[in-house]
């Protein structure tokens, strides 16, 4: 059975569900930052996914990246799957700006996250949900660990 890694639970806010992935928002006010987590058990690397799921992950990732880049008018989109700290496969999508504190380097390891105020967290979460919800499905419609082909 699929379980979200405890660290991802602690560091993020759940936004919604795409056909394959849970959509999480990183709790760092400096960056628009979404994480996709395929709802598959015992998947630690991209190549652990079945071919259909790899293709679906790419579709969902492209959707999220395009929506974020357009909405935030970012200078760049950083997309990466790093498994050094959290082994569960998860893909970061970070809108980057020439004015952000880590530019031009990576955000990972640059500095500790800056917490949102309660109001900021609510506003950013709602903003991200509104941005991405055209492809969200109900959690009850999702069959975690079922290998269905979804494609858009």
Do 92 and 82 form a contact (C-beta atoms < 8 A)?
yes
Residue 91 sits at φ, ψ, to 5 deg, of: -120, 120
Q: How far is CA 7 from CA 31, 70, 148, in A?
A: 19, 29, 27
Is 54 contained in some domain?
A: yes
Asked, for residue 1, whether it belongs to a domain, the answer is no
Judge whether 152 lies within some domain: no
Looking at the structure of the chain, the number of domains it has is: 1
User: Which pTM value belongs to this model?
Assistant: 0.92
**Residues spanned by the domain of 27:** 6-134
Residue 14 lies in a domain: yes
**Does residue 142 belong to any structural domain of this protein?**
no
- The residue with tokens 């950083």 is 78
In a domain, 140, yes or no: no
Domain-embedded: residue 84: yes
CATH of the domain at 35: 3.30.428.10
Give pLDDT tens digits along the chain (152 positions): 889 999 999 999 999 999 999 999 999 999 999 999 999 999 999 999 999 999 999 999 999 999 999 999 999 999 999 888 899 999 999 999 999 999 999 998 899 999 999 999 999 999 999 999 999 998 776 666 544 433 33
């Amino acid at each position: 059975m699929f379980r979200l890694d405890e660290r991802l639970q602690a560091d993020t806010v759940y936004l919604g569900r795409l056909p394959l992935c849970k959509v999480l928002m990183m709790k760092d006010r400096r960056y628009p930052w979404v994480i996709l987590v395929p709802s598959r058990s015992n998947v630690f690397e991209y190549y652990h996914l079945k071919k259909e799921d790899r293709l679906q992950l790419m579709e969902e990732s492209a959707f999220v990246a395009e929506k974020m880049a357009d909405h935030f008018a970012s200078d760049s989109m950083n997309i990466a799957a790093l498994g050094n700290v959290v082994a569960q496969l998860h893909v970061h999508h970070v809108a980057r700006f020439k004015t952000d504190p880590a530019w031009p380097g990576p955000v990972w390891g640059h500095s500790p996250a800056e917490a949102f105020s309660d109001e900021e967290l609510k506003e950013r979460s709602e903003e991200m949900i509104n941005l991405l919800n055209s492809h969200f499905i109900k959690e009850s419609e999702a069959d975690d660990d079922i290998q269905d082909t979804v494609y858009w």
